[in-house]
Amino acid sequence: MSALLEKGVSIPEIAKTVECHHSILYRELRCCGTKGQCSPDTAQQLAKTKRANASKYRIPKERVDFMSGP
């Protein structure tokens, strides 16, 4: 995506190339891009951070206390 953006290809054309809906690419740019540019490294780092901080991977303190006992 970033290579095509640098070449000046429009988002709808990129969407046709990678066979996805253009709204996905706009969402990706809004989430991970800066000033209309997409940085794959930044996007990957952001995804890893979000995954690590996801609430479904956290064990609540109450459960840890219950499991460790008195």
pLDDT of 56 over the 90 cut:
no
pLDDT tens-digit map of 14-44: 999 999 999 988 888 877 665 656 677 887 8
User: Can you tell me the mean pLDDT for 40-50?
Assistant: 83
Cα(first)–Cα(last) distance of the chain, in Å?
54
Write down the domain spans for the chain: 2-68
Q: Give residue 36's pLDDT.
A: 58
pLDDT of residue 14: 92
Q: At what angle do helices 22-32 and 11-18 cross, to 10 degrees?
A: 110
* Residues pairing with 34 in the sheet: 37
3-state SS track over the chain? CHHHHHCCCCHHHHHHHHCCCHHHHHHHHHHHCECCECCHHHHHHHHHHHHHCCHHHCCCHHHHHHHHCC
